[in-house]
Amino acid sequence: MSLPGLHAVLARLRAAEAAAGRPAGSVCLLAASKQQQPATLRAAAAEGQRIFGENYVQEALPKMAALADLDLSWHFIGRLQRNKTRDIAAHFDWLHTLDRADLARRLSDQRPAGRPPLQVLIEVNVSGEASKAGVAPDAVAELAATVRALPGLCLRGLMCLPAPEDDPARQRAAFRRLRATLEGLAEPALDTLSMGTSADLEAAVAEGATIVRVGTAIFGPRA
Ligand SMILES: *Cc1c(COP(=O)(O)O)cnc(C)c1O
């Protein structure tokens, strides 16, 4: 199985880095693999893809088991639910969608002792939509302070999934808000901005993304 989309996305990423004056390879590609079969992920891994993002725990666990022979990094990028924290703490390397202090405490308590801390990003609602997940930019500092005190978690930065926007200038404005929020925390240990998808990865890279989360452009449209 060949994945021409993967190579096309990597080419877009390298072009976006160059256009932004950033070093080649400074942005990591997370393959958003919801609804994709293990064989498809295995094909991507054979071409060098190592980071996979999953949205549903019950879908992710069998994929992890099927691909346990590979050295992959598993990131949870779906909505965080209370009854899923134990499985996330036990099986994932990263969580991109933390938005509640009580769930942060649960995840820290549930992280197995033998594993390194769960690498955590706080999801920020940069578009201000009432229905969207994520904390408001002015509430990030308080949640960050809570996470920093938890031994089972390692706070790495921020994530956003802004409202879809066709205009590149508006795409960039939303991503700029995430970067400004990170810079406002004045916390040098935070090195990660997870932002940009198939539709807007160039704008995200221009605004400082360090991880882009791309599904459709790699694997084709989902059912
Ligand atoms: C599915 C998903 C993506 C990837 O979106 P595409 O449009 O398929 O590139 C990125 N982030 C999150 C949180 C997702 O759920």
Q: Which residue has tokens 């930065």?
A: 157
Which of 147, 146, 144 shows the shortest CA–CA distance to 118? 147
* Residue ranges in the chain whose pLDDT is less than 70: none
Distance 214 CA to ligand 1 centre (A): 6
pLDDT digits over 76-103, tens only? 999 999 999 999 999 999 999 999 999 9
Give the CA distances from residue 181 to residues 12, 125, 141, 177, in Å, rounded to whole numbers and listed in that order.
26, 11, 9, 6
Q: Are 200 and 178 in contact (CB under 8 A)?
A: no
Distance 113 CA to ligand 1 centre (A): 31
Distance 202 CA to ligand 1 centre (A): 15
Distance 28 CA to ligand 1 centre (A): 15
- Give the global pTM: 0.97
Give the CA distances from residue 169 to residues 160, 172, 178, 179, 218, in Å, rounded to whole numbers and listed in that order.
17, 5, 15, 15, 24
Q: Are 74 and 94 in contact (CB under 8 A)?
A: yes
Q: What is the pLDDT of residue 130?
A: 73
Question: Both tokens of residue 165?
Answer: 């926007």
Q: Are 72 and 63 in contact (CB under 8 A)?
A: no
Query: What is the residue type of 208?
Result: G
Which residues are paired to 118 by β-bridges? 153
Work out which ligand 1 atom sits closest to the CA atom of 219.
8
Distance 114 CA to ligand 1 centre (A): 31
Mutating to test ligand 1, I would choose from 56, 213, 219 the residue with most ligand atoms within 8 A of its C-beta, which is 213
Q: What is the pLDDT of residue 132?
A: 76
Q: What is the pLDDT of residue 186?
A: 82
Q: What is the pLDDT of residue 179?
A: 98
32 lines ligand 1 (CB under 6 A): yes
